Structures are given as C-alpha cells and as structure tokens.
Structure 1
Amino acid sequence: MQPILNTYMNTFEQLGLNEQLLNAIKDMGFETPSEVQDKAIPVLLAKDTDMVALAQTGTGKTAAFGFPLIQKIDANSRETQGLILSPTRELCLQITQELKNYSKYVKGLRVVAIYGGASITEQAKEVRRGAHIVVATPGRMQDMIRRNMVDITNIHTCVLDEADEMLNMGFYEDITSILSHTPREKNTWLFSATMPREVASIASEFMSNPYEITVGTKNASSKNVQHEYYMVSGRDRYLALKRLADANPDIFSVIFCRTKRDTQSVAEKLVEDGYNAAALHGDLSQNQRDLVMKSFRNRQIQMLVATDVAARGIDVDDVTHVINYQLPDEIETYTHRSGRTGRAGKSGVSMVIITRSEFRKIGAIERIIKTKFDAKQIPNSEEICEIQLFHLASKIKETEINHEVDNFIPAINDVLKGIDREELIKKMISVEFSRFANYYKNAKDLNAPSVNDRKNRSNDAGSIPSGGDVRYFINVGEKDGYDWKSLKDFLKEQLDLGRDDVFKVDVKESFSFFNTEAAHTEAILSMFSEFKMDGRFINVEISKNSGGRRNGGGGGRRNDNRGKSKGGFGNKRSKGSFDKGKSKRRSNR
C-alpha cells in the first residue's frame, strides 16, 4: 500500500472542497476537519485512487468519504456513479441522511438508501427516478442486482464502510458478488475501525496499490475512553449492572449483550425495576427500531440494551458509558462497542462485567486496543447512598423555582412552623434517602475475589493496597466543564503530582470524587483550604468512604410510569432499583 502524505491542514477550505460543499459545511457548523478527514479528502479529490482508511467510530469517516464522493458526481447525468455498502439499515439510513445534508447545495444530486425491512419495489422506483449515489446493505443490494432492479456497471467509486463489521456479519460472499458487477477501473475506498485478516483479504483482492490512512494506532482504542472491568459471580451479573447504574443518576449508556434473547431479557428487567431502558435488536420491526432510537436520542431512554449488529446504527455523541454486560464472541468487536462513547472529543467510560473464567479475555482485548484496563469493584451500599445523597442536594440547589407554588407557600409555612432550617433539610432529604437506604441496607458484596496474577501490575487501579489510599470530595463537576480526564489533569497540575498519583476520578453533575495515596492527604487539604478559582472557593474534603470499591462513574435515571416515587433522587418520577427480590419490591408499590 502507498503511505499517505501527512498534510495536517487546518480548514475545510484548504482541503480543496468546492463552494457548494463549503456552504453546506458552514450550515452544519463544522469548523475544522477531523484527522481522518484532513488526511483522506485532499488525496481522494486530487487523484483517482483506491484507499484503505483505518479510524475509530465517531472520528468523522462519513464526511471523509462523503465530501470527495459528492464532488466527483456529475449531477447532470442520471447514471448511478457511486455505491456505498454499510452493514446495517440504521447505518445505511444515517449515511444517506448525512450525504443529503452535505449535498444540499448541489442541484439535482440524488442519494437513495437500499436496505432490508422495507418495500423493495418502492426502493427500486426510487432508483429508477435517478440515484447518483446508492447507499445499501449487502443483502438487499445483492437481491436487487439479481432482480435487475439496480445498475452499478458504470459506477466510478465504491465505498465499503465499516468493512470489518460487514465481514463479521458474514457478508463476504455478498460483497465479492456485488463488486463483481462493478467496473474494474473504479476506485474502491475501504473504511474500517479494525484491520482483521478478512479486511486485508478484500483490500488485496479488489484494490490496486491503495493508499493507507491510519488515524491513531491500528485497532487501538480512542484515547478519550477509560476502560474498566468488574469481576463478579455469574449469578450476580444483573445485580452488578444495577449497582453500576445506581452509582450515577446521570448515565446515558449503551449496554451490550451477545444475543437478542439476552438483550430483550435485560431490558425488560431494567424497565420492571424502574429504569428508563429499552432493547434494540434484530427482531424489532423498522418502526419499533426508529421509535427506540428517537427516544434514545431525546434521552427519554438512558439505558439502551443492544446487540452488536443493531448498535451499528447508533450515532449519538453524548453517550457517557458503554457497559459490556457480556463480552463479545469476537474480541475485535470490543473496539466497535467502546467506540460508542468518547466521541466528538468528549470523554467516556467503557465498563466490562466479567466472571473469573472470563478474566483472560481482558488481557487479549488490552493487546488489541493497546490500552490497559482499570480493575474496579462494584460499589457497596454506603458508596451508592453517598453519591445519591450528594446528587439530591445538588439537584435541589440547581432547581429553578416554579412560582406557581407561591400561592401555597403561606399554608406550607404554617405546616412547617417550628422546624428549624437544619432539621427541615434533614427531613426533606430523608423523604427519599431513607427509602433508598433501607432497600440497600443488607445488600451483599457482589465482588468476586481478585485474580492473583493481576496484583503485580503497577498501573492497575485495583492493585493499590486496601487502606493505602484516601477518597476525596470536591465541589466541581460536569456543570463546571469537567470530565474525568480534565479534572484529573487539573488536580495533577495544582498538586504537582505524577500521572498515576490521582486515580478513581468520578465526575458527577456538580461535584466529584477522586483518590490519592494517603501520603498526599496533608498537602491536598492544605492546598485547597483557601483555594479560589474565578472568584469561587474550591473545597476538597475527605469522603466517608475510601473509594476502594468506587466504580469510576455510572448510574441510571429511573422512571415509574405509574407516577409513584420509590427511592432514587433528583427526579420526582424516579424510583430506586435494588438488589431485593421482586416479591419484596411489589409489596412496597
């Protein structure tokens, strides 16, 4: 393969794009190209060439091939000139919509989506009306070729998007058959997150001396994603999931299961236990899938339980956590999963729930993604209650007053007459906190015994001796512009500490937690005793819990459709989710 020259341009104007595309880019608010766009677009515009581009999900690959493809289209001709193959109908529809947005100022250019689960005759009519670019799933495309419903014999460009995923799904024969109906002199652009043997085979067989672009390291994970694993007994996997959810009320996550049956089962359990959750898998109708994704994008669903195949169409930049309820059968698939978070420059967390027998897979994944996992422990009841307590207090502080209550205040003051401020605060918080705490009162420890051969890893958060570190509370969080990565950098800079001296950083909405070794405690408390930033005091206190079991973030907003509150904080419709039996739960409804 030819290596591509590193151009490192700074603006879209410098990439060689025409005025129509630049106007569309301006409308969409894009300011500077991503790395894959910066490397790919100039070469694809400058010459007719094949290309292999390796980049993680969420790095802007659609624009990297979409812009040059649109610019090469002759809109005055009715012939199909470009073909894009993608693994799922969700991704197919997503790419189609993005290309339509990119080409809004290119008069007469038409993009048509071809995918299963919809009328093939209607799609054929759309193609006959004129389709300059066809975006298709391999199975439906192959079907339409067999029926002579589409003509791709004159295309000049074929794009294989998410090539590794298409091959993982068993589309090799379909892809090779489709490519056999295209002209030999076309250009093939292959975009993929990983480069397994099958992808290399496609490149070797159907491409001629392609340029290769690698954004980051081959198969490596995004630097914005923190990777964690939790070791539990197999029978406690679901309880562990709920604990991780309850540890942070503001989660916006994708939870991965291996099978459609497990996906549906876990989603149903979460809904029954009061979480805003839903399933996304292949047995849903297209209308059901569209409704689920719409609710997820609008954050009406905060815990989306999905199979790997169904999740390929998820294009949401604000996912805070990916939770691997079960590890994938193919280790390379983990790269796609973790790529659902840490997108568009934001940070994210990828959590893995494993049993002792699955521990060896962690090392295999680390070698592929070239990133180490942090060993974490499922939080206990005190830690969860502490997080929820601070969350409730923050929500109360940040809540805007609804002045419709003003007329009732005199009567309410009469009811509360004689209660001082401190006692009133305690009573108000206890209304929710007591119910939540009581459910967790006798909750068991879910953590499985540690694996001995893991203890010697110097950079493993789980290897710090028990009692050797201190947990701190700090009164800044997400609303102050911090995530786990930027807060860690801030603390290291202020305290003049090393890279690994600040760990287990958990950022909530308006407060956070972090750990250091006990030797740093005096210096930390001294530094923040009178510390001001932008005129505001930044307070650091020792937390009640040491943080040895802290999960590094995670949580769930819960919703009771019947309008009854039952544990949990920060949402009058929320209810708790506890490690009690269902019969116990129903008795308290």
Structure 2
Amino acid sequence: MTFDQLGLNEPLLQAIADMGFVTPSEIQEKAIPTLLEEDRDMVALAQTGTGKTAAFGFPLLQKIDASSKTTQGLIIAPTRELCLQITNEMKLYAKHVKGLRVVAVYGGANIQEQAREISKGAQIVVATPGRMQDMMRRGMVNITKLSYCVLDEADEMLNMGFYEDITTILADTPEDKLTWLFSATMPREVARIAKEFMVSPLEITVGSKNEGAKNVSHEFYVVHTRDRYQALKRLADANPAIFSVIFCRTKRDTQKVAELLIEDGYNAAALHGDLSQNQRDLVMKSFRGRQIQMLVATDVAARGIDVDDITHVINYQLPDEIETYTHRSGRTGRAGKTGTSMVIVTKSEMRKIKQLEKILGKKFEQKTIPDGKEITQVQLFHLANKINNTEVNHDIDSYLPAIEEVLEDLSKEELIKKVFSVEFTRFFNYYKKAKDLNQNAVAAFKEESGDTTRYFINVGRKDDFDWMKLKDFLKEKTGLGQDGIYRVDCKDSFSFFNTDTEHKEKVIALFEDFSLDGRRVSVEETQGGGGRDRKRGGGDRRRNDRRGGGDRRSSFKGGGDRGRRRNDDDRRGGGDRRRNSDDRSSEGGRRRNDSDRSSYRGSEGGEGRRRSSSEDRKPTRAERGGPRSPRRSSDSTPNSPFSGKRRRRS
C-alpha cells in the first residue's frame, strides 16, 4: 500500500513526496484511513519509533479548517524535546496547507511570547501538560472550541506523574471533541484515561500490548555489584562503532557515570533534569551530530529523544517499571533496522529478567563480559575495516614522497605490524592484567549461597607476585584448574583468594608445611568466611581501612553500599591504601525510587539501600580508583583504550 491509497488530500501527498516517504508503516496504514473516515475516539498502541506522529498528524491536518484562526487541535506530549519534535514534523506535513499554523507550548521558554504566537492564530497547539495547564489558568489560551485532542506517548506522561494535569486539561475541553490516544503500552492509568474521557474508543494495536520492539535483541550480563562500571567499559570497547543511550535510575548516577566515561577517554555526556535547557540542547545537538557516542541519561530526560541509528541501549541499572524498560529498548531498532538492548545485572536482580521475559514475551540471552583478548581482536579488525573503507584524500599526495622515504626500509609485513601495534599495544597493556569480571560474578553468587571460602596467604607483590602470577601458582599447587581459584587479590606483603568450600580442607593441608625460596608460606581461612578479608585466630589481625585506626572513609563514598560486606580492595594495615584502578566505580547503594508500585520492583540486594547525607559529596580521584592516568597522547597509556579523542563534555 502507498500513501495515495489512504485517502489523504493533495497538499498532504505533496508534502509526503517532498519528504521522500513511500510506504506507510503499519500503524499509519491502520490509523490514517480510520481517522479520516470515522468521527470517533481512538486508542492506538504501537511501539516508539513506528511513525505514530504521522499516523495522527496527517488526519488531523486534513480535518482542520485552515481558514479559521481558532485553536481546533491540541496535541499533548510528555517532554519539551518531543513537543518540539512533533511541532517541527507537523510544520513539514502542513507546508503546502495555506494559512495553517502550528505553535509549540512548553516550559523553559517565555510564556508571554508563546501566548502571543497563539493569539496570532494557531489552529494546532502542541504542548507539554504543565505549561498548557499554566496557560489555561492565566487565560492565555482558548480551547473552548477544540475539535480534536491527541495524547501522544500517553503511558510516558502518566508514568512521569502528569495524570492530574491531563485530567484537568481534558475536563476543560468540549465534551463533543474527538480524543485520539497514542501509546506504546497500556498500563492501568492509560486505560483509566480512556474510560473516563473517551466514548467507545476504537482500539488499534500494532503487535501485542506491552510488547517490545520486534527488531531489538535483548542481552543481559551478570556482574558483581562493584564491577558494574568496568562491565560498561568493556561492552563499549567490544563494540567500537557503538552509538548508544545508557540509562541510569537517578540523576546523580547519570552524572557520575558520564564523568567517569569522559575521564576515561570516551565520547560521552550526561542528560538529566539538573541541566539547564541550554545545556540539554547542546548535549542533544552533539549527540545527533554523533560527536557523542554514549549518552548517559535518566528515563525522564530521555523521553522524547528521537535519534536515528542508535545501535545499543544499555541498561546500566534496571528501571522500576516494566513499561519503562519497553520505552528504553524502543530507542533502538527503529525504521526496520536492528538494535540491541543490553542489561547489566547482579545475581539478586535475575528475577527481574525472568519477569521481563514473561511480560514482554521476549527471550533475554545471557552473555559473558568480553575479556581483553576478545576486545583487542574486535578493535584490531575494526581498525582494519576502517582503513580498508577509508576514501583516499589526494591532498596527501604531496606529502607521500617524504613519508615513503621515512618508511622505505620497511617491508609490507613490517609496516602492517607497526601500524596495528599502535592499537594492539594500547588494548593489550590495558587488559593484560584486568580481572575476570565473569568470575567475580560467580564468586559473588557463591558467597551469597555460602559455597565459597576465602583464604589469607602471606605472599604478595613484594614476593614478585601479581594477581595473575599468584593465581597460576595456586592453580599449579592445588591442582584445582582454571576456575577453581578465583577472586585473587594481591597486596604488598599478603594476598587473598577463594575456592569452593568443598576444597577447604585440601587447600589448608597443602600449605601446612610449605616453603617458597626458603620462606615458609602459610594459608589460613579468613574470619567471616567468603565475605571478609580478616585472618582467623591470634597474631596478625589485619583490618581493612573501614575498621580500626587510620583512614576510616569508605573506599568509594557515593558509590558503595555502607551496609554491605567490606570491599576486598580496601587496603589493610600499612602501605598503599589506594583502591585498585580496575575497580573505578562501585555501583551499589542506589537510592530507591519512592514511587515503587510494581511487583517487578522490590529488594535489589545491596542496590536498594538509602545512603547517608555524608555520601552525597562527589568522590575524590583517589576514592574512585587511585591516581589519574596520564592524558591520552601518542606516547602515553590512556586511562581507557577506547579509540577516539577526548571531547569536552557539552
């Protein structure tokens, strides 16, 4: 079917041709003829990005009397961004309709100027609920002769707390108006609006109710709570062409994650409610221009974002509501393209994945966090393809003789090795001693179930060990294999490691009378079993920094869970008290949203507790992960191997 078969008039078909539209989407094909032929209320359910604006926009424009300056149509949208987006699209649709004006009404702009624009004659007003209600109270807009009212993204508006605003607006509109409600999902609040303010509405559904976008695949990665940020970085590194929105639950988490990504060399920015409108506009302009590859956003701030070709949506933290996850994942996989929704979860959140699968009717594939070898390989092939696909700029020709002279002694093989060694060395050096985040997650699960034992061993870095060498040494000594030894934590003069509890007697017995280079090596179970790093018995009771004397601050204020087990990376006794740089961010202890209303929510283990006011400060560099690595340059090792230059955050 084509647009000229839907019953649209010539001015609208001409605008459609100008925009290059050829075939209507499913929601447009179902809604447009119905709205043109029948004067009745309608509820249309379709995913974000399926063309809902055109589905109600074209029928509305065709039914409006452009010769009258009376406001006849009102479109209500949840956010300023969506309000402006709808307004711009409606103006494009109406560019061949003589005399028709569309005016946007939203917060953050001069209300008097908006009122003047309406007074000049605006047949269609596109408004956010709060600003529209404000203008109604001040008598700046007259909607007594309204013929059509459109509620776009109704579920989002209600989820944002606009129920009373919407009901107040609808109560002041004529009873004989037609109401068209467009939504991605159908929660109880949307059904309630339909029941109270609509008359026998026709329901059109594209796909299934509350169904996720069809072109989006869903993946989840199980990590230890403190490894959440490291997992995010590895997912970004494993997808060099990533163009993504990363969702956090709070403004503070959003800002902090964005700052860490920027500091680590990623092209990232934050989008949340504490930014001024000018800052938000600059961020979105940079994101649309792909100067920003990773936009870290809250759910409220991200609503209304309509950016093409988003490759990934990353759920840094799962939302409270099922419907919110649907909207998040709907930011990718638009216009027939494929997209990926990634979820970073802890073991305690696994039940939420099961609930999402059941309600959305989608299978979530569990994947492991990529390791350094995988990431290095992906980055090298990405570079090879980038070089192969680069169009030659012949302005370089005049420089080639001098370049060839410098490289004349190199063979083709040597030249390739040198070119790719630049990229290879960055990633190899960064990840060669990086911890196995997947093993950390397994260890955390075993700790929770009591199936693991943690040991103290009196060797460390001063004995020429790092965590990898120590793990290899312990594997060889105990014969437990690659996965038998985990959570190896190497300090200056001592270390810790874990095994399954069933191997405890064997491990203790092996080290009862063992010497290394003439030095007696002892292994003891730590006090508290798998969770705490404190040696049993008398003698050397090394305490971590959170207890005893010395610096009593948390290893990461604002990021850790004060009621959780002490972090194994806290330094004990004397020596270096800095946190390991591999644990840059600990994401436990998030403040729960007060609007918990769903069985999908509930206890999230360490992530559900409220932090004290003393943790509201911004963490110092030392608390985030030790001294800052050198800035990216040709002869320095970056904080992160992510390819691309540092950009100043908008």
Equivalent of residue 352 in structure 1, options 343, 353, 356: 343
Does residue 17 in structure 1 map to residue 8 in structure 2? yes
When residues 143 and 574 of structure 1 are mapped into structure 2, their CA distance, relative to the original with a 3 A threshold, is closer
CA positional deviation for 1:569? 8.4
Matched, 1:72 2:59: no
Distance 1:21 1:374 in 2: 44
Q: Does 1:198 align with 2:189?
A: yes
Q: CA deviation at 1:110?
A: 0.7
Residue number in structure 1 paired with 2:334: 343
Tell me the C-alpha RMSD between the 2 structures. Answer: 2.0
* CA 1:563–1:295: 2 relative to 1, 3 Å: farther
In the TM superposition, 1:345-384 aligns within 5 A as 345-384=336-375
The aligned counterpart of 1:86 is 77
Task: Give CA-to-partner distance per residue, 1:150-208, whole Å, 9 cap, x none.
Answer: 11111111001111111111111111110011000111100000001111011011111
Return the letter of the residue paired with 1:224: N
Alignment of 1:252-401 (within 5 A): 252-401=243-392
Question: 2:82, 2:303 within 8 Å by CA — same for their partners in 1?
Answer: yes
User: In the alignment, what sits opposite 1:104?
Assistant: 95
Alignment of 1:169-208 (within 5 A): 169-208=160-199
Could you say which residue in structure 1 is the equivalent of 2:605? none
Q: Is the 8 A contact 1:49 1:210 kept in 2?
A: yes
Describe the SS at the equivalent of 1:437.
helix
Aligned in 2, Cα 1:561/1:298: closer, same or farther, shift over 3 Å? farther
Q: What corresponds to 2:394 in structure 1? A: 403
Q: Helix, strand or coil: the match of 2:125? A: strand
Distance 2:208 2:198 in 1: 22
Of 151, 157, 166, 2:157 maps to 166
Structure 1 position 227 matched with structure 2 position 229: no
Larger radius of gyration: 2
Residues 315, 78 of structure 1: alpha-carbon distance in 2 compared, 3 angstrom cutoff: same
Deviation readout 1:68-102 (Å, 9 max, x if unpaired): 00111001111100011111010001001100000
Give the distance between the partners of 1:308 and 1:291, measured in 2 at CA. Answer: 19
Listed one character per residue, the Cα deviations across residues 302-348 of structure 1 (whole Å, up to 9, x for unaligned) are 10111111111211120000000111111211000000000000000
Q: In structure 1, how many angstroms separate the alpha carbons of the residues matched to 2:229 and 2:146?
A: 50
Report the secondary structure of 2:62's partner residue. Answer: helix
Q: Distance in 2 between matches of 1:296 and 1:144?
A: 32
Aligned to 2:38: 47
Contact 2:315 2:343 in 1 (8 A): yes
Report the TM-score, using the length of structure 2 for normalisation. Answer: 0.69
Q: Give the drift of 1:28.
A: 0.5
Report the Cα offset of residue 440 of structure 1.
0.9
Question: Which of structure 1's runs of 4+ aligned residues deviate more than 4 A?
Answer: 560-572
8 Å Cα contact 1:332/1:365 also seen in 2:
no
Displacement of 1:37 after TM fit? 0.5
Q: How does 1:534-545 map to 2 (within 5 A)?
A: none
1:572, distance to aligned residue in structure 2 (A): 6.7
Deviates more, 1:356-365 or 1:343-352: 356-365
Encode CA deviations 1:399-440: one digit per residue, 9 max, x unaligned. Answer: 233333333333333332332221221122112211221011
- Provide the C-alpha distance between the structure 2 equivalents of 1:47 and 1:230, rounded to a whole number of angstroms: 48
Greater RCO, CA 8 A, separation 6+: 1
Paired residue for 2:107?
Answer: 116
Alignment partners' CA distance in 2, 1:384 and 1:133: 52
The answer to whether residue 442 in structure 2 is matched with residue 449 in structure 1 is: yes
Code of the residue aligned with 2:394 in structure 1: it is H
Distance in 1 (CA, whole Å) between partners of 2:45 and 2:631 is 44
Q: 1:320 is aligned with what amino acid? A: T
| 2:382 alignment partner, SS class | helix
Alpha-carbon distance in 1 for matches of 2:138, 2:302: 30
Counterpart check, 1:417 vs 2:408: yes
Where 1:309 maps in the other structure, the secondary structure is helix
Q: Does 1:155 align with 2:176?
A: no
Shift of 1:285: 1.6
Q: Which residue of 1 aligns with 2:562?
A: none
CA contact 1:392–1:569 (8 Å) conserved in 2: no
Counterpart CA distance in 2 for 1:331 and 1:570 is 32
> Cα distance 1:446–1:398, how it changes in 2: closer, same or farther (>3 A)?
same
Whole-angstrom distance in 2 between the partners of 1:437 and 1:218 = 47
Taking the aligned partners of 2:11 and 2:337, their CA distance within structure 1 comes to: 30
Distance in 1 (alpha carbons) for counterparts of 2:646 and 2:110: 41
Counterpart of 2:54 (choices 23, 41, 63) is 63
Match of 1:439 in 2: 430
- Equivalent residue of 1:332, what SS? helix
The 1-side partners of 2:641 and 2:436 are apart by: 23
Tell me, in whole angstroms, the C-alpha distance in 2 between the residues paired with 1:166 and 1:400.
Answer: 46
- Structure 1: segments with no counterpart, 5+ residues: 1-9, 453-466, 468-559, 576-589
1:211 aligns with 2:202: yes
CA distance in 2, matches of 1:330, 1:361: 10
- SS of the equivalent of 1:93 reads helix
Distance between the aligned counterparts of 1:67 and 1:282, measured in 2?
32
Give the drift of 1:574: 6.9
Matches of 2:308 and 2:129, distance apart in 1: 26
| 1:45 alignment partner AA | L
* Residues 178/353 of structure 1: CA separation in 2 closer, same or farther (3 Å cut): same
For residue 131 of structure 1, report the CA deviation from its aligned partner: 1.1
Between the aligned partners of 1:263 and 1:12, the Cα distance in structure 2 is 42
Deviation at 1:137, TM superposition (A): 0.7
- In structure 2, the CA distance between the partners of 1:561 and 1:148, relative to structure 1 (3 Å rule), is farther
Partner deviation per Cα, 1:413-471 (whole Å, 9 max, x = no partner): 3332332221221122112211221011101111222989xxxxxxxxxxxxxx9xxxx
User: Could you tell me whether the CA contact under 8 Å between 1:332 and 1:368 is conserved in 2?
Assistant: no
Gaps of 5+ in 2: 447-481, 483-629
Moved more, 420-429 or 52-61: 420-429
CA contact (8 A) 1:563 1:573 kept: no
Q: CA deviation at 1:239?
A: 0.7
User: Deviation of residue 265 (structure 1)?
Assistant: 1.0
Q: Partners in 2 of 1:217 and 1:289 — Cα distance? A: 34
In the alignment, what sits opposite 1:243? Answer: 234
> For the residues of structure 1 that align with 2:75 and 2:401, how far apart are their CA atoms?
66
Deviation, structure 1 residue 368: 2.1
Q: Distance in 2 between matches of 1:77 and 1:57?
A: 33
SS of the equivalent of 1:121 reads: helix
**Residue matched to 2:578:** none
- For the Cα contact (< 8 Å) 2:237–2:641, is it kept in 1? no
How far apart, CA to CA, are the structure 2 residues paired with 1:374 and 1:304? 24
SS at match of 2:391: coil
